[in-house]
Amino acid sequence: MDLKAVTYEIQDKFLLPFACKDKDSRGRAVPAEPCPMRTEFQRDRDKIIHSKAFRRLKHKTQVFLSPEGDHYRTRLTHTLEVSQIARTISRCLRLNEDLTEAIALGHDLGHTPYGHAGERALNKFTDFSHNVQSLRMVDRIENDGAGMNLTYEVRDGILNHTLEGRACTLEGRVVAIADRIAYINHDIDDAVRAGVIARSDIPAEFGKMFGNTHSERISSLVYDIINESYGKNTVAQSREFEEGLAELRRFMFASVYTSPLAKSEENKAIKMIEYLYLYYCDHEKEMPEQFVYADEPIERRVCDFISTMSDRFAVRAFEKITVPENWSKL
């Protein structure tokens, strides 16, 4: 039984013409022997899930630095929430859910320790952006420098998941908007849990438009996209919801993302990442061999190394460099 042929037949019957079907993929940079069971986008999803870069996300900051509570989001739980929202949208729009999932699971693999604080630290020295670094992670860093050899469409979606990007597939554009829906809504949840804002601080206009709970807001936003996009060669929001989500995002920047209470330790994290960057630029032999012998400028290799660090690994590296060890010889 040709299992993959069955999948292709299902895609031909179910997916709309605007969807990116596996058999229409532009392929991989290095041709690979096909899997007898899984489609190309399913293979990419599995490569990402089984990567070290994906596992590290559980110890990387989302918004609150190294939170002690069990229920705060990490970069990993954020990724999973993006995947869930994006898959729901893609399934309802009859797009390729496997491609959507692969892009969603890989979109933040290049984040530094301490999230956007680490990104800002490295940006003081070089042109660093997490979406470009996520692509480097799957192309050049994972598997000891060999990369994952993902399909063109997954790589494009990872690179273009930010507000400034525009993916070549509708599935990639679904992930970009699902990313915004996910982080704005779960960051509200975490900010209330942390006492940074109260639910009563959220302007009533957003409750009237989207609903007052985490579930209601996500459901409203997802339904609006489906209603505006079904059967069309686009992924769009109604003007009202697009403007409303942008306003809600501005509220979050003013009340949470720049809040002294939420960001009280951020300057320490930035200074630590800056120190690590300068230190490894001067002591490149102390990095793993993969980053010592790569044929690229030292600044690029140090950024690559730091982007592989989890929050706690970065702290241990900093302590190893700056904190004297106790004398233990008897």
What is the per-residue pLDDT for 63? 83
What does the alpha-carbon distance between residue 14 and residue 39 come to, in Å, rounded to a whole number? 16
Residue-level pLDDT at 18: 95
Mean pLDDT by 10 residues, the chain (330 residues): 82 95 96 92 98 96 77 95 98 98 98 94 95 97 96 98 94 98 96 93 96 97 98 97 97 91 86 98 96 90 97 96 82
Q: Tell me how far apart the alpha carbons of residues 70 and 88 are, in angstroms, rounded to a whole number.
A: 26
Residues 6 or more apart whose Cβ sits within 8 Å of residue 178: 82, 85, 86, 89, 104
The closest alpha carbon to 30, from 145, 143, 140, 149, belongs to 149
Which pLDDT value is given to residue 274?
98
Q: What pLDDT, on a 0 to 100 scale, did the predictor assign at position 113?
A: 96
Phi, psi of 52 (to 5 degrees): -65, -35
Instruction: Give the pLDDT confidence score for residue 6 in this predicted structure.
Output: 86
**In whole angstroms, what separates CA 290 from the centre of its chain?**
24
Give the chain's domains with CATH numbers. 3-322 (1.10.3210.10)
Closest to 116 measured CA to CA, from 125, 128, 105: 128
